């Protein structure tokens, strides 16, 4: 699919002499840096900003991107983007042109070497993957790798963050609102085994089957236990407290439910996600919520 950008090209031509003011070698240059909310993308954005450029922090993690833009200064702003989606990238460019009158520089930092880890992790554990193998798989040289990462651990951290951000991008729910309502909302609002939550979760899995399988295979390498620990502390534990589950039982209860849901998901994955979403959602809800008639 090709997105028609003619409208925005014409606007950029009309406003070519109306770029934002500034000082430095890149004064007035409107610049997009993808994957700039953290890591090397953030470093690139900061250097360009210091040279006078107007910076768009383009990242899937909108909250973090907004924080980075605010810290950087008035010539920086955040615009969410999923670089694997053509329409999302086109929307990023359109919003940039609309806000600043054009686009002069685009740094495609996001996902420079991510294809390497995905293919590599399918074959062997992270500890046994070399920089050479990553670069060969991704089709880049070592200089490109070390331009973005100091070592493979940095790449691993970014890959983990990428998986989490990509997953969260499927939810239209205000995450901040959810965390704030734990103590005050009605208890039925705290049930995550509903269409509202299961549909985006399963859609993410179906759209990213390879990525999900790799994240399961490399669970420990990706530090997913640490991620789960934070989720338990800030999400699951407060919810279980509202349902008066004794503190010493909460870890067991969560593992019981999550293991059950995970077993259904893995069975679905083994069938290449051929069953439609509504069928799988119904199975999960019936199993978790206990809507079964044992008498037939």
SS3 (DSSP) at 80? strand
Specify whether 102 is located in the same domain as 12: yes
Minimal CA–CA distance to 77: which of 60, 43, 100?
Answer: 100
Residue 131 belongs to domain with CATH number: 1.10.10
Q: In what order do the strands lie in the sheet with 76-80?
A: 76-80, 54-59, 30-34, 105-107
Output the tens digit of pLDDT for each of the chain's 296 residues: 567 778 878 887 888 777 777 788 998 899 999 988 877 788 889 999 999 999 999 998 888 899 999 999 999 999 998 877 788 889 999 999 999 989 999 988 766 555 556 667 777 777 788 888 877 776 667 776 776 677 777 777 777 877 887 787 787 655 555 566 666 777 777 777 888 889 999 999 998 898 888 888 878 777 788 878 888 887 888 888 888 999 999 999 999 988 999 999 999 999 999 999 999 999 999 988 775 444 44
Specify whether 102 is located in the same domain as 120: no
Specify whether 95 is located in the same domain as 121: no
Query: Could you tell me the residue range of the domain that residue 101 belongs to?
Result: 6-107
Burial, 43: exposed, middle or buried (Cβ in 10 Å; 0-12, 13-18, 19+)? Answer: middle
Full-model pTM: 0.65
Specify whether 17 is located in the same domain as 99: yes
165 part of a folded domain: no
Tally of domains within the chain: 3
């Amino acid at each position: 699919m090709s997105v028609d950008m003619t409208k925005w090209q014409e606007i950029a031509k009309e406003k070519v002499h109306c770029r934002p003011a500034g000082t430095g070698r890149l004064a007035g240059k409107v610049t997009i840096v993808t994957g700039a909310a953290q890591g090397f993308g953030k470093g690139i954005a900061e250097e360009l900003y210091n040279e006078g450029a107007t910076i768009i922090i383009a990242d899937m993690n909108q909250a973090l991107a907004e924080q980075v833009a605010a810290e950087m200064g008035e010539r920086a702003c955040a615009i969410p983007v999923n670089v694997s989606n053509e329409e999302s990238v086109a929307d990023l460019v359109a919003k940039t042109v609309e806000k600043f009158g054009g686009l002069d520089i685009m740094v495609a930092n996001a996902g420079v070497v991510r294809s390497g880890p995905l293919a590599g992790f399918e074959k062997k554990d992270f500890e046994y993957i070399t920089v050479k193998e990553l670069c060969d798989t991704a089709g880049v040289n070592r200089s490109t790798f070390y331009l973005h990462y100091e070592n493979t651990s940095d790449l691993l951290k970014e890959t983990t963050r990428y998986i989490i951000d990509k997953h969260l991008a499927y939810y239209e729910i205000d995450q901040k609102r959810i965390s704030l309502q734990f103590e005050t909302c009605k208890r039925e609002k705290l049930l995550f085994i509903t269409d509202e939550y299961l549909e985006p979760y399963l859609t993410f899995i179906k759209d990213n089957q390879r990525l999900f399988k790799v994240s399961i295979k490399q669970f420990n390498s990706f530090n997913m236990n640490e991620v789960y620990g934070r989720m338990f502390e800030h999400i699951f534990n407060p919810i279980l407290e509202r349902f008066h589950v004794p503190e010493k039982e909460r870890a067991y209860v969560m593992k019981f439910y999550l293991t059950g849901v995970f077993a259904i998901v893995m069975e679905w994955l083994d069938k290449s996600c051929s069953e439609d979403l509504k069928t799988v959602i119904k199975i999960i809800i019936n199993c978790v919520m206990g809507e079964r008639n044992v008498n037939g």
